[in-house]
A = this chain, B = another copy of it.
Amino acid sequence: MNMEQSQFYMTEAIKEAKQALLVDEVPIGAIVVHDGVIIGHGHNMRERFQNVTFHAEMLAIEEACTNLHSWRLEDCELYVTLEPCMMCSGAIVNSRIKMVYYGASDPKAGTVDSLYHLLNDQRLNHQVQVVSGVLESECSQMLTDFFRAIRKRRKEAKRLRQTD
């Protein structure tokens, strides 16, 4: 996989993240690719559906399972805009995904490189190859902008309450 290809697919994951933005969710997006074809899409929908499992990666993996009629995604690659959390790393290992490409790091909850190296545990029956930092600044900027806008809204709401 060359850099141009990985950037192409990460751009698709970013498009998914932007879908999350449209409904005011934290902008995280993911896709699953099999033989060059996108067979799974997902964006964070935790708040909208009040379902803790509705992370981008989980939804993309579930769609990929449906499309392949298999829980084994051995020849698949996952692209995600943010370093996966513990739950999503677990789903990636359990589904035997071959490679993970991620954009921004998550120092607080990332389990691929930040807090743990869960995708490369030799005690488990599957390890995953990882490429980090794909279109990192674009993936990271979306999150920065989102949280900045939230802080601004909260500050404005507080100011309005005080002037009432």
Interface residue ranges, A against B (CB under 8 Å) = 46-47, 50-54, 58, 61-62, 65-66, 69-73, 85-91, 93-95, 108-109, 111, 115-116, 118, 121, 123-125
Contact = CB atoms under 8 A, between A and B. Distances in A.
Given A51-B66, A85-B90, A86-B93, 7 more contacts: A51-B71, A52-B94, A86-B94, A87-B94, A88-B90, A90-B90, A109-B124
A129 to B, nearest CB: 18
Nearest to A86: B90
A142 to B, nearest CB: 21
A124 to B, nearest CB: 7
Contacts of A61: 52-53
Contact of A65 (B52, B116, B121, B123): B52
B70 A118 contact: no
Given A46-B71, A71-B46, A124-B109, A86 B118 contact: yes
Nearest to A97: B52
A108 B93 CA distance: 13
A70 B50 contact: yes
A132 to B, nearest CB: 19
Nearest to A123: B115
